Structure 1
Amino acid sequence: MTAWSEPLSRGYLVLLAVCAVWSMTGGIGLGQEGWQVRGIAVVLTLPWLFVVHLFLVVTQVDIWLLGYNFYAESPAWLFEPLWALYCLTAGLLNARLLARWSRSAREAGSAPWWVPMFAVAFFAGLFALWHA
């Protein structure tokens, strides 16, 4: 079974795709750049963003290889293709996890609303902590 077969995963993927594309168009200058949309996309992919960020902080690959901070000195539009690839990868991983948890909760006999309620509460809590 794919992640697309579960309603929760489908909703998650659609929300993430809309936020990622909307923030990407603002990042390359085709639309209004708003922090809220990118913030929602960041929160929806947050567990994987921590892994990527920690890898970059620990290794400091850009400073070692290039001799300057690539992220601070480069234009924002340069990172938008990487942002799209990251959102696609992290979104598919999270959607598969949500689908697996939904199916296992249903098979265990739990109420069908436990996993969606927990997922919404989890991401809303992360968004609240991020803006606190």
Structure 2
Amino acid sequence: MKLGYVIFYVADVPATLAFYETAFGLKRRFLHESNSYGEVETGTTALAFASEDMAGSNGLTVRFHRPGETPSAVELGLVTPDVPAAFQHAVKSGAISVQPPKQKPWGQTVAYVKDLNGVLVELCSPMGT
């Protein structure tokens, strides 16, 4: 097994792709003409977004993320060498500040924001730096 992709079901796929491009500097890989599925470049594993309607059409019952609610018990980790700058840029671009950058005992710098859908995003330095 290997991790192929991670999909978040969101209310507006094109808006979410645009947000991830602006707030986190990720490049759009693909947007289906239906606007119901899209991906951004994150390396080997794709980060994907699918419409909330698609969850139902796949036979799934899920709790959707909402910006005004407590995030679900999952986070998306984005690695960057400059966490404070990435955090400030993300917040200026509309991300919701959850925790400002902090140095962890193991040496990593970590910050948290929520995206426009309410998904918890960790911004962190590479391990061992």
TM (normalized to structure 2)?
0.24
Mark the structure with the bigger radius of gyration: 1
- Point out which structure has higher relative CO (alpha carbons under 8 A, 6+ apart): 1
TM (normalized to structure 1)?
0.23
Per residue, is there more helix in 1 or in 2? Answer: 1
